[in-house]
Amino acid sequence: MPKAIVLINTDVGMEEEVVKHLESMPEVKEVHVVYGVYDLVAIVEAPSFDDLRSAIVNKIRRLPHIKSTTTLIVVEKT
* Mean per-residue pLDDT over the chain, rounded: 97
Range of the domain at 49: 3-71
- Let me know if residue 38 belongs to a domain: yes
Query: Quick one: how far is CA 43 from the chain centroid?
Result: 6
Q: SS3 letters for 28-78?
A: EEEEEECCCCCCEEEEEECCCHHHHHHHHHHHHCCCCCEEEEEEEECCCCC
Amino acid at 57: V
- Let me know if residue 77 belongs to a domain: no
pTM of the model: 0.95
- List pLDDT tens digits, range 34-60: 999 999 999 999 999 999 999 999 999
- Let me know if residue 78 belongs to a domain: no
- Let me know if residue 40 belongs to a domain: yes
Report the CATH number at residue 45: 3.30.70.920
